[in-house]
Amino acid sequence: MLIIGITGGTGCGKTTVVNQIIKELSGEEVTVISQDSYYKDLSHLSFEQRTKINFDHPNSIDFDLLKSHLLALKAGNEIDSPTYSFVEHNRTAETIRLKPTKVVIVEGILIFSHPDIRELFDIKIFVHADSDERLIRRIKRDITERGRDIEEVLNRYQNTLKPMHLQFIEPTKEFADIIIPNNRRNTVAIDILKTLVHNRIFHR
């Protein structure tokens, strides 16, 4: 099994890179796990209290559960991945059954911040995008997909997201095996990544 970690700031284009990898491989061979699914269960808090949580801090992630799930997949076992509601700011009661596959992709803004998780990745990728571009994408996504208003998005960006990015995300570039610029010039990096994935899978 090849475990690939893909990180970068919010709105950097991680999903685009994930989709490019999946496109190159058969859909049956790739399992994608989102860090967002592993936000801690906050059912003991009221909705008002949950809205005040700093979800851009590593403490908001249940890394112990994520680690145990990755180890289980690596051992050839199925897992029940949690699901998360950005509208309710909490986990849902539903889970998703995931099977071990040749390639497992873990994507999320904080996955390189935790040493135990970082060590499980065979390939570590950091997707870089300009901060203004990332903010624009975040605004569009949070308003259209997550039911937020512009004031809430900008306040969260200024008060939590940006400082957390500088403290916990940007410094993890040093752990990356490949840094991909998310623009038209990313073709070479993507080609290198595809070759690397193929070599690791089919020539072991």
Q: Which pLDDT score is estimated for 65?
A: 97
* 17 band by pLDDT with thresholds 50, 70 and 90: confident
Residues 135, 46: Cα–Cα separation, whole Å: 28
Measured CA distances, 56 to 20, 53, 85, 178 (Å)? 26, 9, 15, 23
* 128 band by pLDDT with thresholds 50, 70 and 90: confident
Q: Which pLDDT score is estimated for 183?
A: 58
Q: Which pLDDT score is estimated for 168?
A: 93
Q: Which residue has the tokens 């979800």?
A: 55
Q: Whole domain around residue 171: which residue ranges?
A: 2-202
For residue 50 the two structure tokens come to 């949950």
Cβ neighbors of 131 (< 8 A, separation 6 or more) are 9, 162
SS3 content of the chain, % helix, strand, coil (to 5): 50, 20, 30
Mean pLDDT of 33-57: 91
80, pLDDT greater than 70: yes
155, pLDDT greater than 90: no
Cβ neighbors of 66 (< 8 A, separation 6 or more) are 33, 35, 38, 106, 117
Which CATH number goes with the domain that contains 11? 3.40.50.300
Residues 126, 182: Cα–Cα separation, whole Å: 10
Q: Which pLDDT score is estimated for 86?
A: 82
Q: How many domains does the chain have?
A: 1
Q: Which pLDDT score is estimated for 204?
A: 56
Are 140 and 146 in contact by the 8 Å Cβ rule? The answer is: no
Q: Which pLDDT score is estimated for 95?
A: 95
With b meaning 16 or more CB within 10 Å and e meaning fewer, what string describes 23-55? ebbeeeebbbbbbbbbbbebeeeeeeebeebeb
Maximum Cα interatomic distance, the chain, rounded to a whole number of Å: 52
